[in-house]
A and B are shown apart, each in its own frame.
Chain A
Amino acid sequence: MLAFLQRYRELLLVVALLLLPAGTYIANAKQGRDLSSLDKLCLAVSAPISRAVDHVTTGVLGLWAEYVDLRGVRAENAELRESIAELRSQLSARTEAELENQRLHELLTFTRASRGRAVAAPVIGVSPTHRRVVTIAIGKDDGIAAGMAVVTADGVVGKVVATYGGTAEVQLLIDGGSAVAARVQRSRARVTARGLGQESSLQLANALRTDDIETGDILVTSGTDRVFPKGLVIGRIGSIQREAYGMYLQGEILPAVEVRGLEEVLVLVVPGEDSELPTAHASDDMVPGIPGLP
């Protein structure tokens, strides 16, 4: 018997390995399957592998999906940057046009309201020297002559000091050689606004110590210098030193026109005679609302 088993042990093993599962199958075919302890152990031990693979696969697939999503992003990014640059350029041009329109509108309103004739001109150059002079794009050919007043809707800019064919030079109010006859709008005290060569201030000159002048008072042209018509805004009194002795006051004037950003001006070709210009009237009524004044 032992010899038989030894001789046929492979055959017997195979037969057993075939019959055992066949019997198990036949016995359990119609029943639901219950996992044995060994089954559960095998699955529990090996399940982390499946989870790890799932985790890695999810990560790789996610990476791939992101890569696919990102493929066109560089080109799209470049395209969008180009669009943004173009839109910014358009926006800048539009803003510029809007601001220009606003400035020209103010000049137009000023011109319509004034009795004289004014010619608008763009500022095309600034003197590179110590002199506070700007060049405008109208000149002798346009009927411009030296001595004409140059203003904006905000107030006095200066006066024409030289003319050429198509251009003219304008001495700004802040130039060291400039002086304008002025009057304190509130008290009507007569003073002189003299340039110091500084952009942010003028000198208050010829103001008597006894004059009624206070900080914040608005100065307008008096019209007595025969250059500027009466009533154009020059600026506002900044500070005053009233000493106990002496004949005159010392003071500073803050100019109404910001010369640094000057782009368009009006040249008063024929100023209205003995009439105050609209900025002066406006300043009488609405002092805090005068544009350009600090």
Chain B
Amino acid sequence: MSGPGDNNEPKGFWAKLQRRLGPGAAARDSWANSAAHREILSGLTLGETRTHELRSVWRVLLWAGLLLALFQVQAGLLTRMGPELVRVDLAVLFVTFFALRLGAIEGALAAYAAGYVADLFVQGPPGLCRFLAVAIWTGGRILGNRAGFSSPVGRVIFVLAASALYQAGTLGGLQLASVSGPGQIAWLSVVPQAFLAAALALPAHRLLGSLERRTSSKGR
């Protein structure tokens, strides 16, 4: 068993990738009681991080349930209030948060669950949103520290790019899956939705971070 501070770490691409992916949060975050903060503190004792992270896996259900509820709220709102061009990219807001703030196992599973919930609402071929969500989570996890995603500006840029990629991926996936595809108009929504997601990134992540701290066994 090895932790982040292990001197006998194996070399090579996979080992590097493994180090980047986890355990603990990817981003160095200045937020008090953040997962990264806790990981640094807990990293002093080898093995503690993974044990703690496994204890937090139950929260995957919490994240999935919350996202499901928010998707339903958005569905209810959009039924009456109109254009889907400006719907909030909830899945991306959640997945980017998971990538920056949660531990590897919890984050990966939560991203998968978020993709699953998104799949329910996209009504496309099953697995499309799940794959994209985990891919974005992985990208954020790997690039997190190097690209400076922990800063507010970096986080906004990350969410902007992630939303654009996620939507483009979803629409592309739908296009590949069916003859007719989602239609031209759907592609027009990519840019405004990405900007809307970026605009909401900081407050949304702050709220999710607050919930994460409240539900964390170490943060209490």
Contact = CB atoms under 8 A, between A and B. Distances in A.
Interface of A: 6-11, 13-14, 17-18, 20-26, 28-31, 33, 35, 39, 42-43, 46-47, 49-54, 56-58, 61
B147 interface: no
Given A14-B138, A54-B76, 9 more contacts: A6-B1, A8-B14, A21-B112, A22-B127, A33-B124, A35-B120, A42-B120, A47-B72, A53-B77
Contacts of B129: 21
Contacts of B21: 10-11, 14
Interface in B72-100: 72-73, 75-77, 79-81
B48 to A, nearest CB: 15
Contact of A49 (B76, B111, B128): B76
Contacts of A49: 69, 72-73, 76
Nearest to B67: A46
B104 interface: yes
Interface residues of B, number: 44
The 7 closest A-B pairs by CB, nearest first: A53-B76, A24-B127, A21-B127, A21-B130, A25-B127, A10-B22, A21-B131
Interface string B110-135: 01100101001001111111110011
20 contacts: A7-B18, A8-B18, A11-B21, A13-B104, A13-B108, A14-B21, A14-B138, A17-B109, A20-B127, A21-B115, A21-B134, A24-B126, A29-B177, A33-B126, A46-B68, A46-B72, A49-B73, A50-B79, A53-B73, A57-B79
Given A49-B73, A53-B77, A42 B130 contact: no
A25 B131 contact: yes
B105 interface: yes
B128 A52 contact: no
Interface of B: 1-2, 10, 14, 17-18, 21-23, 68-69, 71-73, 75-77, 79-81, 104-105, 108-109, 111-112, 115, 117, 120, 123-131, 134-135, 138, 173, 176-177
A275 to B, nearest CB: 89
A28 B126 CA distance: 7
A11 B17 contact: yes
Contacts of B22: 10
Task: Point out which of A43, A46, A49, A56 has the most chain B C-beta atoms below 10 A from its C-beta.
Answer: A46
Task: Point out which of B71, B73, B135 has the most chain A C-beta atoms below 10 A from its C-beta.
Answer: B73
Task: Point out which of A39, A42, A51 has the most chain B C-beta atoms below 10 A from its C-beta.
Answer: A42
Nearest to B141: A14
Contacts of B130: 17, 20-21, 24
B108 A28 contact: no
